[in-house]
Amino acid sequence: MTALSSLPPPTVTIFEQMSGLARELGAINLGQGFPDMPEDDTLTGAAVRSLTGRSNQYPPMRGLPELRGAIAGWYGAAQGLEVAPEEVVVTSGGTEALAASILALVRPGDEVILVQPLYDAYLPLVQRAGGIARLVSLTPPDWALPLGDLEAAITPKTRLLILNTPNNPTGTQLDRATLEAIGALAERHDFFVLSDEVWEGMLYDGAEHISVLAIPSLRGRAVKVGSAGKIFSLTGWKVGWVVAAPAIAAAIADRHQFITFTTATPLQWAVAEGLALPSSWFATHRARYAHARQRLVSALTAGGFSLLPAQGTWFVVADLAASGLPADDVTVATRLIREGGVASIPVSAFYAEAPERGYLRLCFAKQDATLDEAAARLVRFRTGQRTIGRIGCETGLAAPAQPCKPAHKHR
């Protein structure tokens, strides 16, 4: 075997695959999570001013002091958290925050508990750090975390638990009682908790974000990951951060120093300005997404789809069986993009083992016209599949002889 032939084949994520197919086929892309709304120029204007009027040279390794202060201040105002600037490390997106945290906390042979459905970066990063993954699964339709399963996954080798709240793909959040129970377990068994909270700014219907750092038993052993890309809907900016007790933040900064070292200086200035905007700006920003969500949910529900309850993110999850499409999610997603003209993401793609196969994730962060056309196509597709019997109740492929029975009772 040569050095070249020993290289592993490249992995193409499901998000890239679906976006590529959507471009090729001209499908509406409700797959990958990015907004197509016109951008608010508050942040982009600040970035333009920063590019020409501030520095374009290396910022301090841990981030501009102004941004670290702004992050601490924003968490105080928005979530009532007491955060000191030395607890903040600015990274190149939430993704680098996750990488630096996992590489800092996990040693070869350590066990790491991951919760499925899981964001695609977690497992490869844990493996790269030499960690051994233990998997626990959320249970639909409410995607609750079964604490008994979590406790059963803990061993003397457990070093880290990775959480994602609000969760991508489910759109649900962990409640305070669950986080407190996790805190008690983390204290008793002495492990760290890494909480991916990049969706913290996208909660609807009055739901409030509950951070791991708001839980006293977790405050000294948890790492919170945030992302300006999600808070301001500027996914290409890749400005993120970690917040953790000073000793943990220092260990993570040590990794960050040799991954990217720093993050684009002008964008850091712009995000610092953005985080100082009044709370009304954030409320207006969120309201646009609440509107988009309502528009897609109403149209799909009226057209016979059954969507699972959720509190946040840019995603809704359709229950395929309850929507009268009781086939596996990859089959439905493939037919939907090819025959229905809409890209989606099968939820099974978020599992490393024993996947749930009956759910499809749809991104609603789109303009009204895009959502209306996508919903019309989805409803047509659903009706068409049922009429021609390509997807039915009994085998998943034959026409239904009986009306389809929903798998779960929910809105």
Residues that bind ligand PMP (CB under 6 A): 33, 93-95, 119, 164, 168, 196, 198, 227, 229, 235, 238, 240
Query: What DSSP element (H or E) covers 384?
Result: helix 368-388
Return the number of the residue (93 or 183) whose C-beta is nearest ligand PMP: 93
Q: Which residues 6+ apart lie within 8 Å of 282 measured at CB? A: 78, 201, 231
- CB-closest chain residue to ligand PMP: 93
Query: Judged by CB, which is closer to ligand PMP: 183, or 240?
Result: 240
Q: Which is nearer to ligand PMP, 226 or 355 (CB)?
A: 226
Compute the least distance from the CB of residue 12 to ligand PMP, in Å: 16
H and E: helices and strands count for the chain: 14, 12
Nearest distance, CB of residue 196 and ligand PMP, angstroms: 5
d(CA 70, CA 50): 16
Least separation in angstroms between residue 71's CB and ligand PMP is: 14
Q: Are 118 and 13 in contact (CB under 8 A)?
A: no
If the CB atoms of residues 252 and 404 are measured against ligand PMP, the closer one turns out to be 252
Residues 6+ apart with CB under 8 A from 142: 172, 308, 309, 410
Within a 10 A sphere around the Cβ of 237, how many other Cβ atoms? 22
Q: Which CB atom, from 78 or from 299, has the smaller least distance to ligand PMP?
A: 78
Can you tell me the distance from the alpha carbon of 19 to that of 373, in angstroms, rounded to the nearest whole number? 18
Nearest to 357 by CA among 328, 334, 326: 328
Closer residue to ligand PMP (CB): 47 or 404: 47
Q: How far is the CB of 395 from ligand PMP (least distance, A)?
A: 34
CB of 92 to ligand PMP, least distance (A): 8
* Concatenated DSSP letters of 301-350: HHTT--B----BSSEEEEETTTTT--S-HHHHHHHIIIII-EE-EEGGGG
- Give the shortest CB-168-to-ligand PMP separation in angstroms: 4
